[in-house]
Amino acid sequence: MTARIGVITFPGTLDDIDASRAVARSGAEAVSLWHDDADLKGVDAVVVPGGFSYGDYLRCGAIASMAPVMGEVITAARGGMPVLGICNGFQILCEAGLLPGALGRNRDMHFVCRDEWLRVENTGTAWTSRFEEGAEILIPLKSGEGRYMATAETIEQLEGEGRVVFRFAGDAPNGSTNGIAGICSENGRVVGLMPHPEHAIDALTGPSDDGLGLFLSALDSVVSV
């Protein structure tokens, strides 16, 4: 039976088609989910893709976090469903309370668009089992509000519990605390990161095919359940 992974579209989403292509490349079926429908269509996992949901009004991801579909995502995630938030999706997961902390304006107040080397810090999540710990992967980064921030207590907890999943291998171009590029929930089923793995699934069109590992990992996690 083919695994089914949902990809949400909000008004202003830009990367849902790319995320669906990555899902399909991994061997799973990509299922389109609409922001205004409180229906996950029986999917096995969910991707909350990047873009500018609802125009990034208020705070990035704040309005999207209250969309009908997100109510279902929150319930499913708390029940163990794998959920991946990419860029704006990471912001949405933080606003929805599925991940701690927040994403603020980049350190130099500029939009950053370039390929970045990330170090894989945690291979025990639903989205990183295909990687080796310490591996460096090349993934595009494109965001204006990607600086990860949290209280000192939260940062200490994330670091102590091994919940930093990805870290910039060099200097964090957005000024993220401790160079954090991605984190996970306590159970490792929910992962959020600012760089875009869906744009690195084919060495012919991207800087690498390193991003495909996240989607293959998710496929493994739902098939093995």
DSSP annotation of 8 reads: E
The answer, yes or no, to whether residue 210 has pLDDT greater than 60, is yes
Q: If DSSP codes are grouped into helix, strand and coil, which group holds residue 89?
A: helix
Residues 72, 95, 116, 198: which is the catalytic one?
198
Cα–Cα distance, 86 to 181 (Å, whole number): 11
To the query of whether residue 110 is one of the catalytic residues in this protein, the response is: no
The answer, yes or no, to whether residue 223 has pLDDT greater than 90, is no
Residues 87, 94, 184, 199: which is the catalytic one?
87
The whole-number pLDDT of residue 25 equals: 97
Q: Which helix (H) or strand (E) holds 116?
A: strand 112-120
Six-digit token pair at 34? 């609409």
The whole-number pLDDT of residue 59 equals: 85
DSSP annotation of 29 reads: E
Q: What is the DSSP string of 9-20?
A: E-TTB-SHHHHH
Mean predicted lDDT score pLDDT of the chain: 96
For 42-69, the pLDDT digits (tens) are 999 999 999 999 998 888 999 999 999 9
* Residue range 99-104: mean pLDDT, rounded: 97
- List Cβ neighbours of 53 (8 Å cut-off, separation of 6 or more): 10, 11, 12, 13, 35, 60, 61, 63, 64, 88, 92
To the query of whether residue 196 is one of the catalytic residues in this protein, the response is: yes
The whole-number pLDDT of residue 57 equals: 83
Under 8 Å between Cβ of 31 and 41: yes
Six-digit token pair at 169? 């291998």
* Residue range 86-107: mean pLDDT, rounded: 97
Return the percentage of the chain with pLDDT > 90, whole number.
94
Under 8 Å between Cβ of 196 and 89: no
The whole-number pLDDT of residue 18 equals: 97
C-alpha pair distances (Å), 52 with each of 2, 29, 143: 31, 25, 10
The C-alpha R_g of the chain, in whole angstroms, comes to: 15
Six-digit token pair at 152? 């000192």
The whole-number pLDDT of residue 143 equals: 95
* Residue range 173-185: mean pLDDT, rounded: 97
For 128-178, the pLDDT digits (tens) are 999 999 999 999 999 999 999 999 999 999 999 999 999 999 999 999 999
* Residue range 192-206: mean pLDDT, rounded: 96
Residue labelled with tokens 């959020």: 192
Q: What is the DSSP string of 138-167?
A: EEEEEESS-EEE--HHHHHHHHHTT-EEEE
Q: If DSSP codes are grouped into helix, strand and coil, which group holds residue 88?
A: helix
The whole-number pLDDT of residue 56 equals: 86
Please state the pTM of the whole predicted model: 0.96
The answer, yes or no, to whether residue 225 has pLDDT greater than 60, is no
C-alpha pair distances (Å), 159 with each of 121, 123, 141, 201: 10, 14, 23, 29
Return the percentage of the chain with pLDDT > 70, whole number.
99
